[in-house]
Each structure stands twice: as structure tokens, then as C-alpha cells.
């Protein structure tokens, strides 16, 4: 099996707080991998380490066999490794179409491209993805006026617009209306199958992650606790302990 992301023995601490200790994780290509763990277990820190938000203390992170632990956020993003945020981040004072257009991949842009207008095909592509997440009707509204759930969908659509190879999603269903969650699971699955995007998902909602991921990593207290198929994880006593606080 080939791996998109290989995290090997990564540690990260903030002052005296050890957020990640000796973590080794492999994210297989074109699959959906889940990452679970109680609050404060270091999931988001691991995401931040992978996408280059802060330098790691030790270990190595490879993206498609290329070492990325020394690269900047922008360089990693341009390689096709994107993330979405737990606290949704969109460009609030421009409309959704513009949010989409500016999210086009900067991987192969030349200097002069900055001063060109957007071709019509890109607007069509933006509209296609907005339709895909169900925001087509609201595409011309200022995105700051959208509801939180809609902004979350927009952020997801923006990530798709970038044609990433791997997408790290930080709690994609948090704050989303429960009736819409099934639709979102379906879209995440389609992003994986139709658009061939490898997904690595932090998720608290067990129902979602069990339905979505084909293998799951569990963190607790900054260490890797378990890894396996959803069914194994669900019945793993250590995972249950961690979640119920017996640890």
C-alpha cells in the first residue's frame, strides 16, 4: 500500500506541555483515514505539524515520499496538501464565488498570472463545486453573512476548488445541523471516490467517523493509543477507557 502522508516518531511540545509524543501515523493513498481522541489529546497539534504551522521537535513527516517537516505552510499547500479549520475560516467580505476563485491552486502559477483576470471555466468550476455542497443559490451573497454550517460547507468547497491530493479535515461536522450530516458524509465520500482526494479526518462524532473512515487512529494524552479498522477501534478497551475518562 502506498502512503500519502507518513508521520514518523513526531514529537511536539509547547513549553512544558507535551502535545504529541513519538507519533507514527500512515495515511494510505486514496482512502479515508480517521483521527479520534478526547479533547486535548493532540489531534489538532498533529494536523498543524503536518501542514507546517509550527516546526516539530523531532521526527519526520513525508508527503508522497517528500520530506515536508521543514517547509512553510504555503509551500506545503502548493504541493497539494490542504487543511480546513476547526474554527471555520473563509473570506467574509467577498461573495462565495470570489471565495472559490481565489482558492484555485497556486501550484503552477507564474508571476504574470497574478495580473490576469479569471477565465470563465474557473467560474463554471466554482459554480459546480458550490452546487456540489448545496450553496449554489447563495453564491453571490457575502460569505460572512452565511450561517456557520454554510460557511463550513463553503470552506469544504474551497478546498475542493484547489484540487488537493490530500485534504485534512478538522471536525467537518462540528456545528452542522444534524439533519445535514448525512448529506455531508455522502459528499466527503464522493470527494474521495469521484475527485480522488485522500482524506484524513479529525472527528468527534463517532457515528460519522465509523461510517466514513476505513482505518482509524486514536490519540490520547499526546500519544498514539490505537490503530485499526473502525470495528476494532470501537471495541478496543483502551479507546473506551480514554473516552470515558478512566485513563
Partner 1 sequence: MTFTKQEKIACVFLLILGVFGPILFPGYTFQIAVLWIMILFAQTWDLLGGQMGYNSLGNIFFFGVGMYICAITQIGLFYDVGIYTAAHGADTAQFSSDQYYIGIFSGLFFAAIGSAILSVFLGWAVFGLRGPYFAIGTLGVALSAGELIGAWEWVGGGGGIALPVFPGSGDAKSIFFYILCFLSATMTFLFLKWLYSTRFGLALNAIRDDEDKAESMGLHTLRYKTIAWAISAFFLGITGGLFGNMTGFIEPLEVAFPTITFGIFMVAMCLLGGKGTFWGPILGAVLFHFIKEATWIYFLGWQWIALGVIIILNIIFFQQGIMGYLQEKFPHWFGIEVEDKSLNQTNKVENSQ
Which residues bind to partner 1, rule: CB under 8 A?
51, 73-74, 77-78, 82-83, 85, 89-95, 98, 101-103, 105-107, 113-118, 138, 140-142, 144-145, 147, 149, 158, 162, 177, 179
Residues in Cβ contact with 98 at an 8 Å cutoff, skipping those fewer than 6 apart:
91
> Minimum distance between the CB of residue 231 and partner 1, rounded to whole angstroms?
32
Nearer to partner 1, 8 or 78 (CB): 78
Give yes or no for a contact between 227 and 218, defined as CB atoms under 8 angstroms apart. Answer: yes
Q: Is residue 61 a contact partner of residue 7, using CB atoms and an 8 Å limit?
A: yes
Query: Shortest gap between Cβ of 103 and partner 1 (angstroms)?
Result: 5
Q: Which residues of 212-241 are buried (b: 16+ CB within 10 A; e: fewer)?
A: bbebbbbbbebbbbbbeebeebeebeebee
Measured from the CB atom, the residue of 5 and 225 that comes closer to partner 1 is 5
Structure-block grid coordinates of residue 39: 479533547
Which is nearer to partner 1, 58 or 177 (by Cβ)?
Answer: 177
We find the least distance from the C-beta atom of residue 141 to partner 1, in angstroms, to be: 6
Closer of 100 and 242 to partner 1 (Cβ): 100
Q: Which is nearer to partner 1, 117 or 245 (CB)?
A: 117
* Smallest distance, partner 1 to C-beta of residue 219, A: 22
Three cell numbers at 86? 476547526
The answer to whether 163 touches 100, Cβ cutoff 8 Å, is no
**DSSP codes joined into one string, 230-246:** HHHHHH-HHHHHHHHT-
- Nearest-angstrom CA–CA distance, 167 and 184: 15
Q: How many Cα atoms occupy the beta-carbon half-sphere of 123 within 13 Å?
A: 7
Q: Cβ 5 to partner 1, closest distance in Å?
A: 16
Shortest distance in whole angstroms from residue 84 CB to partner 1: 9
Q: Which is nearer to partner 1, 5 or 242 (CB)?
A: 5
Amino acid at each position: 500500500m502506498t502512503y500519502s502522508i507518513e508521520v514518523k516518531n513526531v514529537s511536539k511540545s509547547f513549553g512544558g506541555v507535551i502535545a504529541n509524543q513519538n507519533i507514527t501515523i500512515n495515511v494510505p493513498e486514496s482512502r479515508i483515514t480517521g483521527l479520534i481522541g478526547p479533547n486535548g489529546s493532540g489531534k489538532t497539534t498533529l494536523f498543524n505539524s503536518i501542514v507546517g504551522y509550527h516546526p516539530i521537535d523531532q521526527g519526520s513527516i513525508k508527503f508522497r515520499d517528500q520530506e515536508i517537516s521543514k517547509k512553510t505552510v504555503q509551500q506545503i499547500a502548493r504541493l497539494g496538501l490542504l487543511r480546513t479549520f476547526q474554527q471555520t475560516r473563509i473570506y467574509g467580505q467577498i461573495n462565495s464565488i470570489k471565495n472559490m476563485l481565489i482558492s484555485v491552486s497556486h501550484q503552477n502559477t507564474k508571476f504574470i498570472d497574478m495580473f490576469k483576470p479569471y477565465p470563465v471555466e474557473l467560474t463554471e468550476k466554482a459554480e459546480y463545486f458550490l452546487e456540489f455542497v448545496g450553496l449554489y443559490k447563495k453564491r453571490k451573497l457575502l460569505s460572512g453573512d452565511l450561517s456557520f454550517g454554510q460557511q463550513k460547507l463553503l470552506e469544504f468547497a474551497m478546498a475542493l476548488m484547489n484540487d488537493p491530493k490530500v485534504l485534512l479535515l478538522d471536525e467537518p461536522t462540528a456545528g452542522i445541523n444534524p439533519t445535514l450530516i448525512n448529506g455531508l458524509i455522502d459528499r466527503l465520500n464522493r470527494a474521495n471516490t469521484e475527485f480522488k482526494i485522500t482524506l484524513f479526518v479529525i472527528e468527534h462524532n463517532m457515528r460519522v467517523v465509523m461510517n466514513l473512515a476505513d482505518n482509524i487512529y486514536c490519540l490520547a494524552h499526546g500519544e498514539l493509543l490505537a490503530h485499526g479498522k473502525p470495528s476494532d477501534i470501537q471495541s478496543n478497551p483502551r479507546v473506551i477507557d480514554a473516552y470515558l475518562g478512566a485513563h
